[in-house]
Structure 1
Amino acid sequence: MSSSIHLNALINQFRSQRPIRAGSLIISVFGDAIVPRGGKVWLGSLINVLEPLGLNQRLVRTSVFRLSKEENWLAAEQLGRRAYYSLTNQGRRRFDQAFKRIYVPAVQEWDGSWSLAVLSQVPAEIRQQVRDELQWMGFGAFGPTLMAAPHCDMLEVRNTLQELDALDSTILFETREGTQYSSKALRAQSRECWNLDQINDSYRSFLDRFRPVWQEMSNQKQLDPQECFIARTLLIHEYRKVLLRDPQLPAELLPSDWGGTAARQLCHNLYNLVCKASEQYISRSMETADGPLPPPSPSFYKRFGGLSDQ
């Protein structure tokens, strides 16, 4: 166990989950720690670094098998008796969509324009799948067949619809800049269709759990590399779970007590605090077929608007 009281509490909370969603945690580790350092890792390394979080060898092996054979997240390469894993092309696309939202410094400014998707002509057998993908990308349901987003990458939307064979049957609009984009009715509509109250509660729970860890670790004279890796992994894993339900609406559409801003700042602060020591732990604990993982790519240090060299 960790010498940190509050970090131990986080570890125990994670271990007590039933079921323990090992696959989701493994994807968090891949996206946060392995992708910036070449993207491939020996399975034995994963087993070793995840053991302190309550994931035994059998659970990790089973979860990695499912991620590769059933969910198409991971691809395996067998060299002798060792298996090495990396993200598939589909897994990389999912990673890019999800993780780039985590590390951006802030939500971009909004000019009041909207992107609209009308699904009335989408075949009924794939309509729900299209709705789910658009919601993943930040769209909200303004009606049974009308989806809307205050800002999005329309090229990404079109590519996603093309992959679903729904581009030709989806009607896409983009509105011009607006001046009444923060009206009372629009704020109320946003609160309802994106379930902002529930997301806000999740942000406040995240703050209550991770603030004590930040306070405790920021007062330590010397940080333990393994503890830093564990704190960083749980931080990103738990933040990701909330963030991927957050449409990241402009401030003009959010409740006045929105906890997402404070959660992002806390995540940045704690991540920056533990980053250097956690990278030391990754270097000595994770392997490829050629030895330790390569150093992080330069883009890694741009996360959250820039990581300090402590």
Structure 2
Amino acid sequence: MIPHGDPPSPDAQVRPQSLMLSFLGVHVLGRGVAVFSGSVIDVFARVGVSEEAVRSTLTRMVKRDLLARHRAGRRMYFGLTTRSVAVLRDGEHRVWRSGAVNDDWDGTWTMVGFSVPESWRSQRHDLRSRLVWGGFGPLQNGLWVAPGVVDVPGLVDDLDLNAYLKVFTARTAKPTEADQIVHTAFDVPAIADRYATFLRRWDHTHPVPDAPDDLARQLLLHTEWLQLVRQDPRLPAEHLPPDWPAIRAEQVFRTLARAYQEPARAIAESVLDTVPAEIPPP
């Protein structure tokens, strides 16, 4: 399950909801708690997000079934929903299990052909956005490809466009080469540039010196990295330059994530006011 809407733009400023999802994934997922809104405001102030923006984000995420309200006395707490758990588990998988470097590709491609009426502009936009989110790139008009086997129904079932789709798994055959597909369907230099941008910001002895503490640095790091890997189709490493920047970027992310983990957890425990909260059934 994925959040509705487009994948983040590569140059977009980090949005409060993206920061919120990172915060929930690191400090709420799996703990069975809801968090007091005031303590969330405290945490987000550390990364320059205003109280108004936090409250607006919390309200919007409740409306989208990504958060549930829990009242305790006069205080309002926010906990996870079945839907947000699925979104956060997907992010956790992309960050810690899939990884940024696809060095075990078996030569399989997932192909999606579609023919949606031209007048259905909104549906076409939503379909393309979901395909990009799922790691697909446009090989030619109406034909998109992604490396590996992709759960296409999990991406697009709720769009009600199945009658307009044709989905295959395939391998290339002469005269077509996998390298051609990689460099035709995907903007390889743009992907590399996003990783290079991450490295310029984080590959230092003391990255983000203006952040007040390791909780703030952890929140920024995880948010930027998750946005980065969600935009990465995980192209086969054998068809990418040997100095592919994702290799170094992932090393930097993992090193910093480990360094920030315990200090950030200690700060969060001192700041966060929580109450037990069950996830409501779907």
Query: In the TM superposition, what whole-angstrom CA distance separates every residue of 1:78-137 from its partner, at most 9, and x where no partner exists?
Result: 233211112333333333333321122633611101111111267862232122112101
Query: In the TM superposition, what whole-angstrom CA distance separates every residue of 1:151-200 from its partner, at most 9, and x where no partner exists?
Result: 1333xx223332222234311111158799865423422xxx32221221
Structure holding more helix per residue: 1
Instruction: Give the TM-score, by structure 1 length.
Output: 0.73
Superposition pairs of residues 157-236 of structure 1, within 5 angstroms? 157-176=152-171, 183-189=178-184, 193-212=185-204, 215-216=205-206, 227-236=213-222
Residue 104 (structure 2) aligns with: 109
Distance 1:175 1:19 in 2: 37
Listed as ranges, the gaps of 5+ residues in structure 2 are: 1-10, 278-282
1:252, CA displacement in angstroms? Answer: 2.2
Higher relative contact order (CA 8 A, sep 6+): 2
Residue 24 (structure 2) aligns with: 30
Distance 2:266 2:77 in 1: 21
Letter in 2 for 1:204: A
Asked if 2 retains the 8 angstrom alpha-carbon contact of 1:116 and 1:148, the reply is: yes
Distance 1:207 1:262 in 2: 8
Pick aligned residue for 2:129 from 122, 128, 132: 132
**Number of corresponding residues:** 259
Residue 149 (structure 1) aligns with: 146
- Identity, in percent, stands at 27
Instruction: Give the TM-score, by structure 2 length.
Output: 0.80
Say if 2:78 is the partner of 1:95.
Answer: no
Say if 2:269 is the partner of 1:272.
Answer: no
The structure-2 alpha-carbon separation of the partners of 1:161 and 1:23, relative to structure 1 and needing over 3 Å to count, comes to closer
Asked if 2 retains the 8 angstrom alpha-carbon contact of 1:211 and 1:266, the reply is: yes
The structure-2 alpha-carbon separation of the partners of 1:173 and 1:18, relative to structure 1 and needing over 3 Å to count, comes to closer
Letter in 1 for 2:124: R
The structure-2 alpha-carbon separation of the partners of 1:161 and 1:290, relative to structure 1 and needing over 3 Å to count, comes to closer
Asked if 2 retains the 8 angstrom alpha-carbon contact of 1:200 and 1:258, the reply is: yes
Asked if 1 retains the 8 angstrom alpha-carbon contact of 2:33 and 2:274, the reply is: no
